[in-house]
Amino acid sequence: MTPINPPKSLDQLTAQEIERKANIGKIVTYTLGNLTSTYVNEGFQWLLPVVLSQSTDPLWPDPNASIETRIEVDIYGKPVRTMSSMIVHKLIAASTVYPKLFILSPNVRIEKSERGKTGKHIYEFTQLDFEIQNATSKDVFLLVETALCTLIKALKKDMKEALSAIGRFDALPTLEGPFKIFDREDLEAKYGETWEADVASEITQPAWITNLPREFYDFEDFSTGKWDNYDLIMPQFGEVLSGSKREYDYAKVIKKMEQHGVRKENYSLIIQMAKEGRLKPTAGAGIGIERIVGYITGVRHIAECQPFPRVPGIVHEL
């Protein structure tokens, strides 16, 4: 992989770079407006995010994890963490008051410095995180396919000037669902360890990858060992979304937490709700905003899509 120079902070940009950054900014604004409209029109409730909480995503086990520091502080005599994702909040909210919900959720993941050079990792990012009660993976696929096909079509119609100015109008393909579905086991057999990059370089339309062993909240069929979860990979880019059908059965949740060595005391509420049968079957996912805009704009580093770049290993004053 060719190392990528990190994006500069706003005060360091040349006049030409300011123009480019402004065009990317217009595409970010348009993308947020278009995606959130799709979810609102589909009947989703728009929840505001939290930043500090006792429960957050353990991000473990995850074969792609590279977390260097987990931020934990005491407030009012209780330990809280910065959100690595609002997965626990989503599962409880979708099981109770908000059966179809989404959140533009700011997530902090202090990745190892070497990830600063991949162009795909940032230590603060925002995901459009959504969850649906009683939904299947297929429901999520259809929703995301509709949202992304609609977005790209609308961008090509309404954002021609900004896309052309950054040289992406012709290069950006129109999308067409349904996207192909691959099983991770088949890809590993075909390509070996580098399957993700290999698939991304071969496809011309987005593709779903299913059956990825990871955190306790993703659904695992104990009889077959298969996982009912998914990532979405964009052509020549890589992952922009991950999600799953969820575990809600008490015995399975506990068993997986124990197997994974996850600290149960940080998840008392979700455990309690599962025990009382109040955790409902749901499915959902999160779309990485900087990643989807990174794909759309074709930037070398997704932090170029952030006004205040969050490149692992580099802390600017702002």
Q: At closest approach, how far in Å is the CB of 155 from ligand ASN?
A: 23
Comparing CA positions, the residue from 211, 140, 204, 207 lying closest to residue 180 is 207
Considering the complex, state which of residue 65 and residue 175 has its C-beta at the smaller distance from ligand ASN.
65
Tell me which H or E stretch contains 23: helix 15-41
Q: At closest approach, how far in Å is the CB of 117 from ligand ASN?
A: 22
Considering the complex, state which of residue 142 and residue 172 has its C-beta at the smaller distance from ligand ASN.
142
Binding site for ligand ASN (CB under 6 A): 57, 85, 87, 127, 129, 242-244, 284-286
Considering the complex, state which of residue 13 and residue 65 has its C-beta at the smaller distance from ligand ASN.
65
Contact by Cβ (8 Å): 122, 309? yes
Considering the complex, state which of residue 4 and residue 247 has its C-beta at the smaller distance from ligand ASN.
247
> CA–CA separation, 305 vs 237, rounded Å?
15
Tell me which H or E stretch contains 255: helix 250-260
Cβ-in-10-Å burial (0-12, 13-18, 19+) of 97 comes to: exposed
Q: At closest approach, how far in Å is the CB of 288 from ligand ASN?
A: 8
Cβ-in-10-Å burial (0-12, 13-18, 19+) of 103 comes to: buried
In the 8-state DSSP scheme, what is residue 7? P
Considering the complex, state which of residue 31 and residue 282 has its C-beta at the smaller distance from ligand ASN.
282
> CA–CA separation, 133 vs 131, rounded Å?
7
Q: At closest approach, how far in Å is the CB of 223 from ligand ASN?
A: 23
In the bound state, the residue with its beta carbon closest to ligand ASN is 286
Q: At closest approach, how far in Å is the CB of 52 from ligand ASN?
A: 17
